[in-house]
């Protein structure tokens, strides 16, 4: 009987798509996959998923009311609700799957690495859990390095000076590249205006990936070998399985089990502009915040490209226009 994997992404589109790509690869390898959505996201599907004999969808409540935006402005509420209500529903689902017959019993869990509770619950119930992080190996290593970076006084500022404290990246990591905290509306309270506690929480979440049986990264050793070797001592095992979006079946899977559809005219739009004519891409901060950040810069000779979601399909085209 094929192994049965429960795939549990963080319930935002930028995390769902890479997990879908990974699930597609697991299906191609002959495994069975149950893809776990929140009930809110499952209702927002734009397409009916194709039938696959080894793919099943499941859902749990995230604990938030239907009218909640579940966007950057309400991110902290989503984090807390998933940690409490979502965690309880996830535990109940795992227990049901463990009590089912042999055909439905879950073999292991692959959960998004930003949800340490999902690893803890699975391991507590005796189900092996692996963590999947959607950023690059260098990005993950930067999160692991946050405590040392703060100790050295390194902060994300618009500077090309090289940053100290990120092992293996001393020769190219600039201060402007350091992890930064997206401005979030936090409730009044001591320290809520200080980004350091938030950064330390993000760093702790990254470090807790070491509690899982293995860390899965959407990258390749040929691209990020040095960063992967630096990450290895912090986790039990690390697997570089990407780039997952380059697999022929990956885009088909994402198109059918997705909250929204991609605007494919974006590719033609980019091809219609000369190299070095597209200036910036901003996401997660909102257009108003993005404009305020670059308003003092004269971009008259170029096109400023504003977009709320950019999928990996377009990344290399964007790089070509930006370089």
- What's the number of domains the chain is made of? 2
Q: Considering the domain boundaries, does residue 124 fall inside one? A: yes
Give whichever of 45-54, 151-160, 178-187, 292-301 has the largest mean pLDDT: 151-160
Rounded to whole angstroms, the Cα distance separating 18 from 10 reads 10
pLDDT at 248: 67
- Residues 75, 112, single domain; the answer is yes
Q: Considering the domain boundaries, does residue 167 fall inside one? A: no
The 10s digit of each residue's pLDDT in 101-113 is 766 789 999 999 9
Assigned token pair, 154: 């390194």
Q: For residue 242, is pLDDT > 50?
A: yes
Give whichever of 4-8, 54-58, 185-189, 304-308 has the largest mean pLDDT: 4-8
| Angle (nearest 5°) at CA 206 between 200 and 210 | 130
Q: Considering the domain boundaries, does residue 251 fall inside one? A: yes
Q: Considering the domain boundaries, does residue 286 fall inside one? A: yes
- Residues 315, 281, single domain; the answer is yes
Residue 278 is classified by DSSP as B
Q: Considering the domain boundaries, does residue 179 fall inside one? A: no
Share of the chain above pLDDT 90, in %: 42
pLDDT at 320: 41
At 75, which CATH number? Answer: 3.40.50.2000
- Residues 122, 221, single domain; the answer is yes
- Residues 30, 122, single domain; the answer is yes
- Residues 240, 95, single domain; the answer is yes
pLDDT at 219: 94
Q: Considering the domain boundaries, does residue 218 fall inside one? A: yes
Assigned token pair, 94: 């795992």
Q: For residue 167, is pLDDT > 90?
A: no
- Residues 245, 270, single domain; the answer is no
Q: What is the pTM of this model?
A: 0.75
Rounded to whole angstroms, the Cα distance separating 194 from 76 reads 15
What sign results for the dihedral spanned by CA atoms 153, 137, 9, 46? positive
- Residues 275, 312, single domain; the answer is yes
Catalytic residues: 15, 112
Q: Considering the domain boundaries, does residue 228 fall inside one? A: yes
- Residues 214, 318, single domain; the answer is no
pLDDT at 2: 76
pLDDT at 71: 74
- Residues 311, 247, single domain; the answer is no
Q: Are 97 and 105 in contact (CB under 8 A)?
A: yes
Residue that wins the pLDDT comparison between 31 and 278: 31
Q: Considering the domain boundaries, does residue 141 fall inside one? A: no
- Given 201, 234, 256, the domain boundary residue is 256
What domain range includes position 280?
265-322
- Residues 39, 116, single domain; the answer is yes
Residue that wins the pLDDT comparison between 189 and 65: 65
pLDDT at 75: 78
- Residues 48, 75, single domain; the answer is yes
- Residues 22, 104, single domain; the answer is yes
Quote the strand ranges of 27-82, DSSP E.
32-38, 55-60
């Amino acid at each position: 009987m094929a192994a049965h994997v429960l795939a549990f992404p963080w319930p935002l589109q930028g995390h769902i798509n890479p997990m879908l790509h990974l699930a597609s690869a697991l299906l191609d390898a002959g495994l069975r996959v149950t893809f776990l959505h929140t009930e809110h996201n499952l209702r927002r599907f734009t397409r009916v998923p194709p039938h696959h004999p080894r793919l099943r969808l499941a859902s749990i409540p995230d604990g938030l009311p239907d009218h909640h935006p579940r966007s950057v402005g309400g991110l902290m509420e989503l984090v807390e609700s998933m940690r409490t209500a979502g965690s309880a529903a996830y535990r109940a689902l795992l227990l049901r799957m463990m009590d089912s017959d042999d055909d439905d019993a879950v073999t292991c869990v692959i959960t998004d690495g930003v949800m340490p509770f999902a690893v803890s619950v699975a391991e507590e119930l005796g189900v092996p859990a692996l963590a999947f992080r959607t950023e690059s190996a260098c990005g993950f290593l930067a999160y692991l390095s946050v405590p040392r970076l703060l100790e050295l006084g390194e902060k994300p500022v618009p500077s090309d000076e090289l940053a100290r404290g990120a092992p293996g990246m001393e020769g190219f990591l600039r201060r402007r590249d350091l992890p930064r905290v997206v401005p979030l509306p936090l409730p009044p309270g001591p320290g809520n205006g200080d980004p350091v506690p938030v950064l330390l929480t993000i760093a702790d979440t990254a470090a807790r990936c070491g509690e899982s049986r293995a860390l899965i990264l959407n990258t390749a050793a040929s691209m990020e070998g040095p960063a992967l070797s630096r990450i290895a001592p912090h986790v039990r095992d690390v697997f570089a399985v990407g780039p997952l979006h380059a697999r022929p079946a990956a885009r088909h899977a994402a198109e059918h089990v997705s909250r929204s559809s991609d605007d494919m005219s974006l590719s033609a739009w980019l091809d219609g502009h000369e190299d070095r004519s597209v200036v910036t891409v901003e996401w997660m901060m909102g257009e108003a915040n993005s404009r305020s950040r670059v308003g003092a810069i004269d971009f008259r000779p170029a096109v400023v490209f504003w977009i709320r979601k950019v999928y990996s399909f377009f990344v290399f085209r964007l790089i070509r226009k930006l370089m």
